Amino acid sequence: MTPLDSTPTPLALARLFVGVALAGIGGGLPAHTRRALLARGWMTEEGFAETFTLAQLTPGPNAANLAAMVGARLSGRLGALTSVVGVLTPGLVVMLAVSVLTLGGTGDLSPTLQSALRGAACAALAVLLTAALPVVRVGWGVRGGPAVVVLTFLALGVLRLDLLPVLLAMVGAGLLLHRPRRSG
């Protein structure tokens, strides 16, 4: 664990997440969140991997949950609130404006816009990968980790199994492997 530079205020978190939201056009919010937090020294690579995984486990749209968790960890209840409001506000405002415009007309997207969207999606995949690799590295370093990483990837990515049974099997196996042993 490296020492952290400082703890942010709720307002600073709101600003960070507004920035993350503006960066997250086309997806990849967790990746942008990681980049922003690490750049400011507010969270370690390990702390982020842990929070990110927890966010995956709670029900709901990931990006908002991650904001809530990061905010809660760094700055308590108020931090959670400002983080979620921060991450939602920019898109909410733009989406309302766009809704007013498109729902008046036919609402079809132009071919150029669709091409731009596809380009952005490819870059968003790259953004996701830059965030995924550190999380994989942290998980890989745990005892028995590589097997769990590979099996989980195959089950969810290749076989497209349901998340819940895979989660129960993998985390159950991990708990058995790492169960607390009474010393002495």
Please report, as residue ranges, which positions from 75 to 134 form the binding site for other proteins (by CB under 8 A): 76-77, 80-81, 84, 87-92, 94-96, 98-100, 102-103, 107-109, 111-132
Using CB under 8 A, pick the residue from 13, 37, 43, 67 that binds other proteins. 67
Asked whether 46 and 1 are in contact (CB, 8 A), the reply is yes
- Nearest distance, CB of residue 164 and other proteins, angstroms: 7
| Angle formed by the axes of helices 45-57 and 111-140, nearest 10° | 110
CB closer to other proteins out of 12 and 161? 161
The answer for residues whose C-beta is within 8 angstroms of residue 144's C-beta and 6 or more apart is: 173, 174, 177, 178
Q: Is 31 in the site for other proteins (CB under 8 A)?
A: yes
CB closer to other proteins out of 111 and 184? 111
Footprint of other proteins on 43-62 (CB under 8 A):
49-62
Distances in whole angstroms, Cα of residue 108 to Cα of each of 84, 101, 111, 126: 30, 11, 9, 28
CA-wise closest residue to 160 among 168, 148, 152, 149: 152
Q: Is 37 in the site for other proteins (CB under 8 A)?
A: no
- Nearest distance, CB of residue 165 and other proteins, angstroms: 12
